[in-house]
Structure 1
C-alpha cells in the first residue's frame, strides 16, 4: 500500500478544525465530572438561545409524545437528560464533522453521527453492568465522540476502502486501524485523540477516543470507560452501519473483567439500543436538527 498523504498534512487538517462552541465545551467538561449538578447544565443552556430553542423543539416533538408542551429549559433538560443535552450541543457545534459524507469509508452523510449515537446509547447501557461504579453519562458522552477521527481521515482515504478490505481478506493487515496507519501513518483513533486535545476535552474522553479499539492499552484507571465504549462501538456496528469498516475490528474479551454481561444481556442491550436510537433520531429529525 502506498501512502496517499503525509502525516503532517493530516496534523495540519486537525489544527484547522474550528473549536467547539462555549456551550458544547462546557457541557462536555461537566459530563466528565462525578459531582456536577443538573442546575449547572440548565444554566449553560439558558445562556445559549440557539441551544435552548433546539432542545425545546426536540422535547416537544411527536417522537416523545408528551401530553403537555414543555416550555422551560429546566423541564427540557430534566426530561432529555444531561447526556443527551451535551450530545445535541456537540452535534450542533460540530455538525460539519458529524454530518459529512465519509467517502474514505464509503459511508453516506450522517452515518458517523448515527454510529456515534448508537455507540453512546450502547455504552450508557453497558455502564449499568459495571462491576465498579462507572458514570453512564460519561460513557454516553465518550460514545458520542469516539469515532470523530473518521471525519478527519475520510478525506485522505478516498477510494482506498476496497484495497483495505482486500488486504484484510488476504490477512496482510491485522484490522482496519492497521490499514489506516500503513496508508497514512496515523489511524482514526489517534486523529480523534489529537482533535480532542486541541478541543481541550477532559482526559477521560481523550483516552476513550484514543483506545476504543485497543482498550487494553488504555491506562488502568480508565479501562472500564474505554471497554464500555469498545463494546458499545461493536454493538452499534451490529445494530446497523453503512461504512466499509463495519465489524472490521477485533473484540477484546477483556471487557468481562469490568462488566457482568451475559450473552442474553448483550442481546437485550442491542434491542434497547435500537429502540432508544429510533426515538431520539426521530425527535432530532422532527425538530429540524441538521444531524438527523
Structure 2
C-alpha cells in the first residue's frame, strides 16, 4: 500500500525523539550494555535525571534510604524503566493523546504499550536466545505508534469496521483500516520509525507485529515475541479501544517461542503485577497516568 499524502504530511510533523531516548534505545540494543552507560545518558539530561530520581524514590519502590545519585537510581530502576521514562517525556504527544478514531481515552496507548513491553520481554526469555528481552521491551513500547497518526483519518470508521468484522466479512481490524483509510497503523508506524531513524529490529516489529510471519527471518522471533505480548496486553484488559481483540493470533508463535500453557499463564500474571508496580512508581496511579 502507498500511504495517502495527507497521512504522510502528518507523519512528517511528528516531533523527533530526544537525543537521550535515541541513545538509550541504542545502548539497550547492545546485550553487553552497562549501568554506567545508561547513567551517563541520564546525567546529560536534567529533566530525565529528575524523573529517574523521582521514580526510584517513590513509595512503590519502598526503599528505606533516599537515592540521590543517578548511578544508584539506574541500578534500582533498570534500563527498561529509564527508556520508558525517556520515551514518555519526549513523545507524550504520541502516547498520551486520546485516540478518537479507536474510541479510546487519553493515555490508553501508553498503558497498552507499557503492558505489551513487559509481556514481550518475558516472552522473549523463552526464545532460546533468538530474541533479546531488552530489545523486545523497547519494541513493545513502540509497536503501536502508528495509531497516534491513524486516529484522525479513521474518524468514525471504527464502528463500521467492527460491524463488518462481526459478520465475518473482514479478517481483522488492520484490513478494516486499509479499506477505510488506504493504509494501516503498522505501515504508518513503520513510516514514523523511519522518520525517527529507529534501528532495523524496532522498525520490523512495528511493521509486522500483526503479521509476524512476514518479518525478515533474522528478526522474526523478536516480532513473534511482541506479537504474543500484544495479545497478552489485550487479553489482560489493556487495549487501545474499539479495536481490542479484533486481530488474528498467529499460532505459529509456538515454532519461535518454546513456552508451555502453564508458563504462559505465569507470564500473564507476572506481567500484570509488574505493570501495576511500574504505573505506581512512574505515575502514582492509573488515573494520574492519563
**TM-score bucket (shorter structure):** over 0.9
Residues 1:274 and 2:272 are matched in the alignment: yes
- Taking the aligned partners of 1:90 and 1:137, their CA distance within structure 2 comes to 15
Which residue in the other structure is 2:212 paired with? 215
- Taking the aligned partners of 2:233 and 2:27, their CA distance within structure 1 comes to 25
Matches within 5 A, 1:104-123: 104-123=101-120
Matches within 5 A, 1:67-78: 67-78=64-75
Which residue in the other structure is 1:265 paired with? 263
Name the SS for the 2:247 alignment partner.
coil
| TM-score (normalizing by structure 1) | 0.95
2:96 paired residue among 99, 103, 107? 99
Name the SS for the 2:284 alignment partner.
helix
- CA-to-partner distance for each residue in 1:35-82, whole Å, 9 max, x for gaps? 332211111100000000001001111111111111110011111111
User: Which runs of 5 or more residues in structure 1 are unaligned?
Assistant: 1-5
- Taking the aligned partners of 2:118 and 2:31, their CA distance within structure 1 comes to 19
- Taking the aligned partners of 2:65 and 2:247, their CA distance within structure 1 comes to 45
Which residue in the other structure is 2:123 paired with? 126
Name the SS for the 2:71 alignment partner.
helix
Residues 1:84 and 2:81 are matched in the alignment: yes
- Taking the aligned partners of 2:272 and 2:18, their CA distance within structure 1 comes to 29
Shift of 1:132: 3.3
Relative contact order (alpha carbons < 8 A, sep ≥ 6): 1 or 2 greater? Answer: 1
- Taking the aligned partners of 2:27 and 2:199, their CA distance within structure 1 comes to 9
Name the SS for the 1:50 alignment partner.
helix
- Taking the aligned partners of 1:285 and 1:84, their CA distance within structure 2 comes to 12
Shift of 1:134: 2.6
- Taking the aligned partners of 1:290 and 1:146, their CA distance within structure 2 comes to 23
Question: Do 1:92 and 1:291's aligned partners in 2 also have CA atoms closer than 8 Å?
Answer: no
1:233 paired residue among 217, 230, 233? 230
- Taking the aligned partners of 2:82 and 2:287, their CA distance within structure 1 comes to 13
Question: Do 1:168 and 1:174's aligned partners in 2 also have CA atoms closer than 8 Å?
Answer: yes
Matches within 5 A, 1:139-218: 139-218=136-215
Query: Runs ≥4 in structure 1, deviation > 4 angstroms?
Result: 287-292
| TM-score (normalizing by structure 2) | 0.95
Question: Do 2:131 and 2:225's aligned partners in 1 also have CA atoms closer than 8 Å?
Answer: no
- Taking the aligned partners of 1:248 and 1:286, their CA distance within structure 2 comes to 31
Task: Supply the RMSD in Å over aligned alpha carbons.
Answer: 1.7
Aligned residues: 287
User: Which runs of 5 or more residues in structure 2 are unaligned?
Assistant: none
- For the structure 1 residues 175 and 288, does the alpha-carbon distance in structure 2 shift closer, same or farther, using more than 3 Å as the test? closer
